Structure 1
Amino acid sequence: MIKNLFIAFILLSTHAIAQNKPLESDTIPLIINKQNTIYVKAVFNDSDTLNLNFDTGTTELVLTNNVLKNKLKSVPKLYNTVYNLKIGNHDYKTKIYDAELTGHDTDGRFGWDLFKDKTVELNYDKNALIVHNQLPAYVSKDSKFKKFPIKYFKELFLIEGTISQNGIKNTSLFLFDTGYQRTAMLDNDLLKLSNFPAEKMEVIKKVMMKGAQGNEIPVITSNLELLKIGNYKLKNVPVQQITANKPMRGENIHILGNEILKRFNTFLDFQNNVVYLKPNQLFNAEYVEKMKNGI
């Protein structure tokens, strides 16, 4: 990533002295739709304004095949060429990848790594994505913000959470994935290894879900008694299980999705590898699956 520097020139007597001025925090309007997709407007390649999902479960920039073929003013080269992506007042450099699908109302998605030397604030009370040079001092002083160490796995990041059912508790790592629109995707292999009583969860429904490449995936939605993140408890959460695939291929990892993550105002401190979460006005919002099923 290439850092942008604003250079301020100050004339002292007959000498001109150049000094580096720290970048200001950059506040960007954040939209969240009823499917829990969060997105911002961004300008790709200095010419195309796009709606892009901020997806912490991915890296770099992904655009749908439809957008690549029909919406852009130019034909970008995939995978190896670096392009400019302007988000808010700042320019970021990224390669570009293709996918069949992305979040509702969006043209594609960009990953957390664009901000890997920054702190990113997701403020759902103010509908803002704010990029800071460093963690604001007030965050660590606010006792309502709970601190979670980031654990990295193959360029993605995870935090710890606990699930409970019929008196059995299991604490493990969850992929922090704002790009996943539902609550949580539980890994069946990890549930079995921990002897978690998944069969005791009440089944809400069974459906076919489409993956990013348009492939069909059978999914069971069940009622989890308790999901605990730090000291914060969420009861009777409709969680998903994939029966034919794994949430993360080849790995035993659960996924924490944006229908949970939107309930917290968030600071992603990538300089110190820490996440701060604080409940917001959406904390007690109804879950989509329960609204649909009248539960």
Structure 2
Amino acid sequence: MKRLFLYLPILFAHTLFAQSKLPVIRATAKSVSVKDGEFLNKNSWTLTPSARPDVFTADRTREAKYVTFYTDIDSIRVQVKPGTRYNFVILLNGKDSCFTQVASAIPPEDKFKNVAATHDTIPFTLTTHDAIAVKAVINNTDTLMLHLDLSSFDVHLTRDAILKKTHLLVTQPDAIAGKVTPNFNKMAKVTRLQMGQVVFTDPPVSTTGSTAHEMDGRFAWNLFEGKTIELDYDKSLIIIHNNLAKIPKGYQRSKLIFNRSNALVRGSFKIDGKVYTGNFSMDTGSETAMIVDSGWVGKQHLPVDRLKLIKSMTFSDPQNRTFQSNVVLTPSYTINNFPLGNVPALILSSKINPAGYELNFLGNDLLKRFNMLLDLKNDFIYLKPNHLIDVKYKQSS
């Protein structure tokens, strides 16, 4: 998954070439496998000689780790720490120099030193499908509706919205007219993205085939790295704090956990007096309350067969194979010391794994009940119940 193109200053391209004796490895094929920490992604990286540099942003962590690039004939292993960058060259077929950089997802500490305290606001609307909808203007001309998705990364625009609502394909008139298939790899660059008072220059943008209901795309937490995101459902505001000296009363704190750049929070079920604790990704783009991975259920021995069955759901995969998942009613679920009763949970079939690895999700039918502070400088999450805390869950019956 090449969410591997985080934006870095253009200045680096000049400093890279000024360096001498960069490490060089060889390749005869464009596909490269990358091991990021303990996770190996086979043939996930494509060599691009024209990119100077081509930046691989390692999964976010505050711990030191190794990232290894495996070409078809060679390899290189580099250590990644917060704020670091490592440069090397992959020589393709003995002639094309692919300048490559492995970068930490966390910027250098000096980027955040002596930053004035500002509090920029982004108004939002909570849709009937529980999407946190924000009006966004790209390149000063095109208005789209994007939603905040805390389980995503970077900015993603739907191909349909790009074609019908933007000028990003202005150099492809036949595609706009419907005569040929658009080439989204050659669309114009998004140089400016504005949401409320917040403006991003050259944000990392890619295409997607799906997003929340009625949305043109989504934006993620990593745009605000090093800051605090305040999500206030009572005032319908996203507030971005450069520095937040004092946490308001009523919030409960817990550690924010990151796994493969997914922002996770700890949560616990209590069933028949026994507690089952796990990590949950915050999928604010989903209108469900909770999705639980079958692998985690098996390891925890969660007694789902003793829970009330609300309904069964049948899914089909691309090979037209069908399988079933159940929505059950969990008697008690606690997050940040706040207990919630009778939370509906979709228990995934063992054949469904949207993340590709074991991962549970909290959807916005649950998360919308809490105002949130997401501290991306110190990695803490603060929650406080809001006016939606007692509304009925959509899948509760």
TM-score surpassing 0.5? yes
Residue from 89, 92, 98 that aligns with 2:197: 89
Q: Shift of residue 247 of structure 1?
A: 4.3
**Equivalent residues of 1:168, 1:197 under 8 A apart:** no
Q: Name stretches of at least 5 consecutive residues in structure 2 with no aligned partner.
A: 1-6, 10-113, 170-183
Residue 264 of structure 2 aligns with which residue? 158
Encode CA deviations 1:127-154: one digit per residue, 9 max, x unaligned: 1111111225143xx2x21111111111
Residue from 275, 278, 283 that aligns with 1:177: 283
Encode CA deviations 1:180-219: one digit per residue, 9 max, x unaligned: 22111101111111111011111111234699xxx99854
Q: Shift of residue 119 of structure 1?
A: 0.8
Residue from 249, 254, 260 that aligns with 2:356: 249
- How far apart, in 1, do the equivalents of 2:316 and 2:251 lie? 35
Q: 1:109 to 1:205 in 2, by over 3 A?
A: same
Q: For 2:395, what is the secondary structure of its paired residue?
A: helix
Instruction: Write the mapping of 1:221-240 to structure 2, written as runs, cut at 5 A.
Output: 221-240=327-346
Residue from 26, 44, 55 that aligns with 2:138: 44
More deviation in 76-85 or 171-180? 76-85
Q: 1:270 to 1:91 in 2, by over 3 A?
A: same
Counterpart AA for 2:145: N
- How far apart, in 2, do the equivalents of 1:210 and 1:136 lie? 50
Residue 108 of structure 1 aligns with which residue? 217
Counterpart AA for 1:106: M
**Equivalent residues of 2:231, 2:373 under 8 A apart:** yes
Residue 226 of structure 2 aligns with which residue? 117
- How far apart, in 2, do the equivalents of 1:210 and 1:22 lie? 52
Counterpart AA for 1:206: S
Please, what is the CA RMSD of the aligned residues? 2.6
**Equivalent residues of 1:166, 1:197 under 8 A apart:** no
**Equivalent residues of 2:152, 2:221 under 8 A apart:** yes
Q: Relative CO higher for 1 or 2, CA cutoff 8 Å, sep ≥ 6? A: 1
Q: 1:72 to 1:240 in 2, by over 3 A?
A: same
Residue 124 of structure 2 aligns with which residue? 30
Residue 196 of structure 1 aligns with which residue? 302
Q: 1:21 to 1:55 in 2, by over 3 A?
A: closer
**Equivalent residues of 1:80, 1:95 under 8 A apart:** no
Q: 1:210 to 1:122 in 2, by over 3 A?
A: farther
Residue 68 of structure 1 aligns with which residue? 162
- How far apart, in 2, do the equivalents of 1:276 and 1:217 lie? 37
Q: Shift of residue 105 of structure 1?
A: 2.5
Q: Name stretches of at least 5 consecutive residues in structure 1 with no aligned partner.
A: 4-19
Q: Shift of residue 77 of structure 1?
A: 4.2
- How far apart, in 2, do the equivalents of 1:285 and 1:98 lie? 34
Matched, 1:130 2:239: yes
Q: For 1:288, what is the secondary structure of its paired residue?
A: coil
TM-score, normalising length: structure 2? 0.62
- How far apart, in 2, do the equivalents of 1:135 and 1:209 lie? 44
Q: For 2:210, what is the secondary structure of its paired residue?
A: coil
Residue 79 of structure 2 aligns with which residue? none
Q: 1:99 to 1:218 in 2, by over 3 A?
A: farther
Residue from 204, 207, 212 that aligns with 1:98: 207
Q: Shift of residue 79 of structure 1?
A: 10
- How far apart, in 1, do the equivalents of 2:263 and 2:296 lie? 18
Q: Shift of residue 81 of structure 1?
A: 5.8
Residue 7 of structure 1 aligns with which residue? none
**Equivalent residues of 1:61, 1:96 under 8 A apart:** yes
- How far apart, in 2, do the equivalents of 1:80 and 1:59 lie? 21
Q: Shift of residue 167 of structure 1?
A: 2.7
TM-score, normalising length: structure 1? 0.83
- How many residues were matched structurally? 268
Q: 1:219 to 1:79 in 2, by over 3 A?
A: farther
